[in-house]
Amino acid sequence: MLLPSLFGLDADGLLPDCLRIIATARSEMDDTGFRALAAAALEAAIEVERRTPALVARFMARLSYVAIDASKTEGFAALAAAVGDPGHLAIFLSTAPSLFGPTIAGLASAGLAGPGARLALEKPLGSDLASSRLINDAVAAAYPEDRTFRIDHYLGKETVQNLLALRFGNSLFEPLWNANGIDHVQISIAETVGLEGRSDYYDGMGALRDMVQNHMLQLLALVAMEPPARFDPTSVRDEKVKVLRSLRPIDRSTVEDHSVRGQYGAGAIAGQPVRAYADELGRTSSTETFVALKAHVDNWRWKGVPFYLRTGKRLPERMSEIIIQFRPPAHSIFGDVELKPNKLIISLQPDENIGLTIMAKTPGLDRDGLKLRNVSLDIGSNDAFADVRRRIAYERLLLDLIEGKQTLFVRRDEVEAQWTWIDAIRAGWAATGMTPKTYAAGNWGPSAAIALTERDGVSWHD
Ligand code: BG6
C-alpha cells in the first residue's frame, strides 16, 4: 500500500520535487534491488495506464535503501548520513511492536528526532493498555505528540471522512442523531480472507484487538461524537476521545451477554472450499477470528441506544458498513400498512455509498387502500463523483503526514481509551472461560451472533 500510494501522489504532482524516499529494513539490499522490489509493488497495485515510463522513472529516482538492524543503535548513523539535513523529515514505522523502542532510540541517537522530524506509527501499537503505554512513552521521549502520527488506515477512507460531512455538513440528520431519533447503530466489517500468512501476528491478536480496538472504535467514535467546534486536529480528537471514554465497560458480569467470539472452521467462500483456521495455523488455538459486541455509549445523547459491532474473517462477503436505524414514526395514519423505520446505510466497502431508506407511495389507484414501499435514496459515489479518481486510503494519510496535518491520526489518549475498553472485555473472557465458538467459513459467524441482536428484536443488516 505504501509505495503505490506514494507513487499515486507523485504521479499527480503532489510531492515536492526535492522529496526523497529512503527505505530501511534488515535485509541486505542495494538501491537497485529496492527499486526492483518497488517496481513489482507498483505493477501489482497500479493500473498500467497510470504507470507511464516517465512517471515510474521519476518515482524510482526518489528511492534509495539503507539496511539497518533496528535492534542496534549503531546502524542508524548510516541512515542519518543518507538523510542528510533532517530539517524536513517524515518517518514511517511499520515494525513489530518490540522494535518501536529500539528504533526510536536509534533514530534519536542519530539526530533524526529534531524539531523537523515527524514520526508515523503503523499498528499494532501494543497488545494491551500496558504495552501500548510503553510504546507511547518511548515515542514521547523522542517525539512530542504534535509530531506523532498514529495511523488508523480506516481514517484515510473516503466514506469514513464523509461521515463527518454527512453529519456536520447537513442540517437534516443532526436533530435526530440521538437517543430520541435513533433506535440502534450497527457497524460491520466483514472479510472473506483468512489468515493470509500472518499467523505470527494474527494468532497473538485475534479479531477484537486486530479490528475492534482500532478501526471499529474509530468508526463508532465518529458516529457518536458531539459536533466539534472546528475541523481541526484538537477539536475533532477531543470529541472522539470523550466518546471512547464514555463506552460502558463490558466486563466479567456482562461479557457473556454482550459479546460473542467465533473461530472459523472449514467451509466454502465463493464456492471454493477453504480450510479451518486451526488447519491454516497448523495447531489448535483459542484466538477469535470473529467477534460481535453490544456496546453502549453512556452519555446524554446515546442513553439506551445499543451499538452492535461485528467483524470477522472468512465471512460470506467483503463488506464494511454502518447502519443508523432510526425510530419508527410516532403514529401511523395508514391503518395496518407496515411502516419501516428509516435507515441510513453508510457503505465503506466494497462500494462507497450512502443510502437512506424512506417509505414512498407505490404508484396506483389505491382502490384497496394506499400501498407504501420502502425505497432507498442513494448517493453512490461512483455516480455522484464519477469525475473524481478514488485513492488508496494511505495516499491521503501519507500526504497529511508530509504536510503535518494531524486530524486523521489517532492521539495517545484515544488509543489508551480504546485499549482500556478492550482490556476489560479480554479480562471478562478470561474470567468466564469464554472461548470462541466455531462457525463454518462462509457464514456470518456463530449463531450466537444472531442471537445477540435478535434478543433485542434487531436483525443484522446482511
Ligand atoms: C488491518 C487488519 O488493520 O485491516 C487486517 O490487520 C484486515 O487483519 C485489514 O484485513 C482490513 O483493512 P481493509 O482496508 O481491507 O478493510
Number of domains in the chain: 2
Domain span at residue 272 reads: 175-388+413-454
In a domain, 450, yes or no: yes
CATH number where 291 lies: 3.30.360.10
Q: How far is the CA of 154 from the centre of ligand 1 (A)?
A: 9
Query: In sequence order, which ranges of 90-227 are alpha helices (DSSP H)?
Result: 100-109, 129-142, 158-168, 199-205, 207, 217-224
Q: Assess whether 38 and 92 both reside in one domain.
A: yes
In a domain, 26, yes or no: yes
Integer Cα distance of 278 and 264 in angstroms: 8
Average pLDDT over residues 323-346: 93
Q: Assess whether 221 and 105 both reside in one domain.
A: no
Integer Cα distance of 187 and 324 in angstroms: 9
Integer Cα distance of 229 and 235 in angstroms: 6
Per-residue pLDDT tens over the stretch 135-175: 999 999 999 999 999 999 999 998 888 899 999 999 999 99
In a domain, 460, yes or no: no
Q: What's the grid cell of residue 315?
A: 465471512
Concerning whether 215 is annotated as a catalytic residue, the answer is: yes
Q: Tell me what pLDDT residue 381 has.
A: 63
CATH number where 79 lies: 3.40.50.720
**Residues 123 and 136 sit within 8 Å (Cβ to Cβ):** no
In a domain, 82, yes or no: yes
Integer Cα distance of 308 and 66 in angstroms: 46
Q: How far is the CA of 313 from the centre of ligand 1 (A)?
A: 10
Ligand 1, pocket-test mutation among 94, 208, 210, most atoms within 8 A of CB = 210
pLDDT for 382 beyond 70: no
In a domain, 122, yes or no: yes
Q: CB of 352 closer than 6 A to ligand 1?
A: no
Integer Cα distance of 172 and 136 in angstroms: 40
Q: Assess whether 247 and 318 both reside in one domain.
A: yes
In a domain, 438, yes or no: yes
Q: Assess whether 107 and 6 both reside in one domain.
A: yes
Q: Tell me what pLDDT residue 165 has.
A: 93
Q: Assess whether 118 and 185 both reside in one domain.
A: no
Taking the CA of residue 154 as reference, the ligand 1 atom at the shortest distance is 14
Cα separation values, 385 from 91, 243, 390, 452, Å: 33, 32, 9, 38
Q: How far is the CA of 209 from the centre of ligand 1 (A)?
A: 12
Q: CB of 152 closer than 6 A to ligand 1?
A: no
**Residues 405 and 396 sit within 8 Å (Cβ to Cβ):** no
- Which one of the listed residues 184, 215, 258, 296 is annotated catalytic? 215
Q: Assess whether 31 and 113 both reside in one domain.
A: yes
Per-residue pLDDT tens over the stretch 240-253: 999 999 999 999 99
In a domain, 402, yes or no: no
Residue scoring higher pLDDT (337 or 238): 238
Q: Assess whether 180 and 69 both reside in one domain.
A: no
Q: Tell me what pLDDT residue 81 has.
A: 96
Q: CB of 210 closer than 6 A to ligand 1?
A: yes
Q: How far is the CA of 232 from the centre of ligand 1 (A)?
A: 26
Q: Assess whether 125 and 240 both reside in one domain.
A: no
Q: Assess whether 144 and 180 both reside in one domain.
A: no
pTM, 2 dp: 0.95
Ligand 1, pocket-test mutation among 211, 314, 348, most atoms within 8 A of CB = 211
